[in-house]
Structure 1
Amino acid sequence: MENTFDKTATETIDLLEARLRRIEYAVSGQTGEAVGSTQNSTAPVAKRLADLEQSLHQLASKSRVIQDLLTLHARYPDLFQSINTDNLPTTLDTSSILSIVLASSSSYSSTASRLTSIKDVPVPPADLSAQLIELVPRIAQLEAVQVAQDAEIAELRARSAAVIQQWYTNDILRVGDAWADLEGRVAQGEQKIRRATLAKKLDESIV
C-alpha cells in the first residue's frame, strides 16, 4: 500500500510539473528545468511540491495574466470546475433549453468561422516583431517631442491671444475713445458758432 501511495504521489507531482512547464512555456516562451529530470525524480515529494509552488509564485509575479487568473480563481472557484450535464444549474425544462439553443444556433457557425479565420492568420515573422520592439524607444521619444510641441503651441496661442487683446485695448478702444472725444468737441464748437452767428444776425436786425 505504501509503495502504491508513493507511486501515486510521484505521478501526481509529475503531472503537476508538466502542467506548470506548459503554462510557463505558453506565458514566457521558455521553460525552466526539464520535466522528469533525475534530480526531481529522486527528491522527496514534499520538496518537489514546495519547488513547484515556488515556481508558480515566481511565474505569477512575472505575468499579469497569471495573477488575474489566480485572483479570478480565488473569487469565483466555480468557474474552474466542470459542470455535470445531468445536474445543470437551471430550472428550465428541456423544451425551453432547446428553444434557447436553437435561437442561438446561427451564432455557432459564425463564431466557428471567425475562430477558423483567426487560426489561419499567419504569425508575423520574428524579425518583424524584433524590429517593432526596437522601434518602441524611438516611438516614446517621438511622443515626448510631440508633447513638448503641443505645450509650446499652447503657450504660443496664449501669447498670441494676449497680444491681440493688448492691441485691441490699446489701439482700437483708445482710438475709438479719442474719436468720440473729438466728435464731442467738434459738436460743441459748431454749437458755439451757430450761437455766435444767430446773435450777430439779431444785432444786425435791431440796428
Structure 2
Amino acid sequence: METPFDKTAVETLDLLEARLRRIEYAVSGQVDEATPADDNTPAAQRLADLEHALHQLASKSRVVQDLLRLHARYPDLFQSIGADELPTTLDTESILSIILASASSYPSTASRLTSILDVPVPPAELSAQLIALVPRIARLEALQAAQNTEIAALRERSAALIQRWYTVNILGAGDSWAELEGRVEQVEQKVRRATLAKQLDADLV
C-alpha cells in the first residue's frame, strides 16, 4: 500500500527529473530520450540515475562545470533573498554613500543597456554561413602553420648559407691576402739583402 511518504518521494523525484531535463535543454538545446522510470523502480535507484545523468551533463558542458565550481566557492549567491533583507552587513548610511558615489555612472550604464537593445540581431542565414566557414578556417590555419614551419626551415638554411659564404669567401679571402702579404714581405726582405750585399761588394772592389 502506498503511503503519503512514498507518494511525496515519487513526486519529488519526478520534479527533480523534470528540472534536470529543463537544464539539459537550456544547456545543450536538446534532451536525450530516456526510458521513463517504472513505478516499481526503487527511489534510491532513480536518485542514482539522476545523479549519474547530472554528472554526464556536467562533463559535457563547460557552463555547468563553471556553475558547480561557483556554487562550491560562493554558495550564498544561489540563495534567494527576500525583498526586505539586505545582502550586506553595512548600515544604511554606508549603503547610501556607496550608491551616491556611483550615481553618476547610472545614466551612462542605462544608455549602454538601451543601445544594446537597439543592436540588430544578425540573420540566421549569416550565422549558418559563418558556422559553415569554420572547417575552411581550420584548414587555412593548418596550412598557415605548415607554411610558417617551412619558412622557419628556409630561414635556418639561409642563415647557414650566409655563414658558410662569409666563412669561405670573406674570412678565407682575408687569410689568403694575409698569407700573400707575408710572402711579399719575405721576398722584399730577400731583395733588400741581395741589393745590400751587391753594394758592399762594389765598395770593396
After TM superposition, is the score higher than 0.5? yes
In structure 2, list runs of 5 or more residues that go unmatched: none
Q: Which residue of 1 aligns with 2:197?
A: 199
- Within 5 A, what are the aligned runs for 1:1-207? 10=11, 20=20, 22-30=22-30, 50=47, 56-83=54-81, 85-86=84-85, 88-90=87-89, 92-207=90-205
Structure 1 residues 116 and 31: alpha-carbon distance in aligned structure 2, compared to 1, 3 A threshold: farther
**Deviations 1:119-158, CA, capped at 9 Å, x for gaps:** 3322222221111111111111111111111111111111
Q: 1:110 to 1:32 in 2, by over 3 A?
A: farther
Once residues 146 and 172 of structure 2 are traced to their aligned partners in structure 1, the CA distance between those partners, rounded to angstroms, is 38
Shift in Å, 1:177? 0.7
3-state DSSP of counterpart to 1:105? coil
- Aligned-pair identity in percent equals 71
Q: How many residues align?
A: 198
Structure 1 pair 16/121, CA: closer, same or farther in 2 (3 Å)?
A: farther
Distance 1:6 1:107, change over 3 A: farther
| One-letter identity of the residue aligned with 1:128 | L
* Post-superposition offset of 1:14: 7.7
Q: Assess, with a 3 A threshold, how the Cα gap between structure 1 residues 22 and 105 changes in structure 2: closer, same or farther.
A: farther
Q: 1:197 to 1:178 in 2, by over 3 A?
A: same
> SS of 1:122's equivalent?
coil
Normalising by structure 2, we get a TM-score of: 0.76
Return closer, same or farther for 1:122/1:87 CA change in 2, 3 Å cut-off: closer
Q: Give the TM-score taking structure 1 as reference length.
A: 0.75
Structure 1: runs of 5 or more not aligned: 34-38
**CA-to-aligned-CA distance 1:21-79 (integer Å, 9 cap, x gap):** 5544433334568xxxxx89xx69x59x7476666445434321122112221332111
Change (3 A) 1:120 1:59: farther
